[in-house]
Amino acid sequence: MDAGGLTQTDVQVHGVRSTVLVGGPSSAEAAVVFVHGSAGSGRDWEALMSKVSTFARCVAPDMPGYGDADKPEDFDYTTEGYARHLGAVLDALAVRRAHLVLHDLGGPWGLAWAAADPAALASLSLINIGSLPGYRWHRFARIYRRPILGEILLASTTRPGIALVLRQGNPRGLPGSFIDHVARQYRDARTRRAVLRFYRATPDLGAVTERAAMSLREVSPPTLVIWGARDPYIPVRYAEAQRQYFPGAEIVILPRSGHWPFVDDPEGVADALLPFLRLQLPNRADSRG
């Protein structure tokens, strides 16, 4: 399938299939690796990938439980399980060096993978996520973690309800197509199961992310932090906190954006991300973008 110069392929590892959006030169061993959060998919990154693919190889997998990926009952829906799956997908695609671009739950998954294989980490771009010392789950997550109540909340989710919640998380507003995509995911009982499994397996997200970041401190990867200042789920104060773990981090605050700045302000995110990635990828395929 073609999507604005991007293509879509399937990768199966350990019996679990991930659909992967790909672009740029497929022979390159280094790739920009976009990892979505909840409830997202690789398609969340399509606009950014269309720009990045003009000068670099890029991949964006649907992680198990989301998008068009498999959603098996017996998958390990934990940070460690997702990190292993991400690593196996990159191995299958022959990606030897990864320029990670992480958002939401893609943050702990990607950081855990990098902590396990730091030599494969080429650079790190954190969008409204990172190491979260002392973090306390947001109100919806606290409900997800409660048996029965979490099931009821997700099963009763409607498109208008999702639109209202997303509006609170992104005051600038989000495109209807993005809201539709999130609503479709929550209508899938298997995605709802994946969401609940992860939250219930993760009582302390702050500790999970901090451990991974601590293990990467000596690696000191080139790091870019982009944060929508009006994020109600992960407060903007955590943007500056990333310098505790990545002292050379470049930090960009988007004052009017919320939790999904690459959706509500794609140009603002691109203006920060593309120059950063170009600096990390001197042997780019093309200088356009």
Tell me which residue has tokens 């068009």. 68
| CA 35 vs CA 134, 161, 180, 242: distances in Å | 23, 26, 20, 19
Looking at the chain, the whole-number percentage of residues with pLDDT higher than 90 is: 89
Show the domains of the chain with their CATH numbers: 2-135+204-280 (3.40.50.1820)
Prediction pTM value: 0.95
Report CA 285 to chain centroid distance, whole Å: 25
Given pLDDT bands bounded at 50, 70 and 90, which one contains residue 1? very low
What average pLDDT does this structure show over 123-148? 97
Give the Cα-Cα-Cα angle 203, 86, 283 (nearest 5 degrees). 130
Q: Please, which residues bridge with residue 250 across strands? A: 224
Of the pLDDT bands very low, low, confident and very high (cuts 50, 70, 90), residue 276 is very high
Contact (Cβ atoms closer than 8 angstroms) between residue 8 and residue 18? no
Element (H, E) at 268: helix 266-280
pLDDT band at 171 (very low <50, low <70, confident <90, very high): confident
Q: What is the pLDDT of residue 289?
A: 38
Least confident of 50-54, 71-75, 130-134, 171-175: 171-175
Other residues' Cβ atoms within 10 Å of the Cβ of residue 119: 9
pLDDT in tens, 102-128: 999 999 999 999 999 999 999 999 999
For 70, what's the count of Cα atoms within 13 Å in the CB-facing half-sphere?
17
CB 207 within 8 A of CB 111: no
